[in-house]
Amino acid sequence: MRIVLLGPPGSGKGTQAALLVAQLGVPHISTGALLRNAAKRGTELGLQAKSITDKGELVPDDIMSDMIEERLSRDDLDNGFILDGYPRNLAQAKSLDIMLERLDKPADVAIHIDIDPEQIIKRIARREKEEGRADDTEKTVRNRMRVYAEQTAPVADYYAERGLLTRVLGNGPKEEISQRILSVLTIDRQST
Ligand code: ADP
């Protein structure tokens, strides 16, 4: 199962990806986590990226495509993967398609977690207290939501046009949302 997980900031992509990993046993590839790790290690790229992520802007496509290409080239993806945080704009979506085609691992399904903006602000305010992520301040979150609407929302349409997109309601207990996603995956599997 090669899954692309989409959804606005705070929609619970990371949480759902972790639950899916437990169920499906495939690697979780999170570009947000890769960037935060690079920043924590203090690499030049990591520090450069941090000044951008802290403002809620997107890290340039060439940096991201190198990062994701390196990760996708490892040999642990034979049973699939859960991609979380990439692609985030149409250029990234197109370059991902080319990369996955070349690796003979095209995406099977894109799942968009739907959530309303008020919920997002509430959830992220709580996460800021619990995890202290530098990009979880209210100002940055609003910018991330704007960037999402302008640049990332069209990515969902891109997958919809290819018949790969399913939308899942992202409210309620996380286990329930996970069940919704798993039932989508089961249906998808039966139809292929
Ligand atoms: P969220 O989805 O909650 O906004 P992520 O952890 O996925 O959080 O991403 C955090 C930040 O990392 C983003 O706001 C962005 O600045 C940067 N980032 C992550 N993935 C990408 C990407 N594919 N392209 C550009 N920037 C990215």
Among 57, 58, 86, 143, the mutation site with the greatest number of ligand 1 atoms within 8 A of its Cβ is 58
**pTM, to two decimals:** 0.93
- Verify whether ligand 1 is closer than 6 Å to residue 50 (CB atom): no
Three-state DSSP class for residue 170: coil
**Which residue lies with its CA nearest to atom 2 of ligand 1?**
9
- Verify whether ligand 1 is closer than 6 Å to residue 29 (CB atom): no
pLDDT tens across 33-65, in order?
A: 999 999 999 999 999 999 999 999 999 999 999
pLDDT tens across 146-171, in order?
A: 999 999 999 999 999 999 999 999 99
Three-state DSSP class for residue 112: strand
The conformation of residue 152, written as its DSSP 8-state character, comes to: I
Paired residues of 169 in beta bridges: 114
- Verify whether ligand 1 is closer than 6 Å to residue 8 (CB atom): no
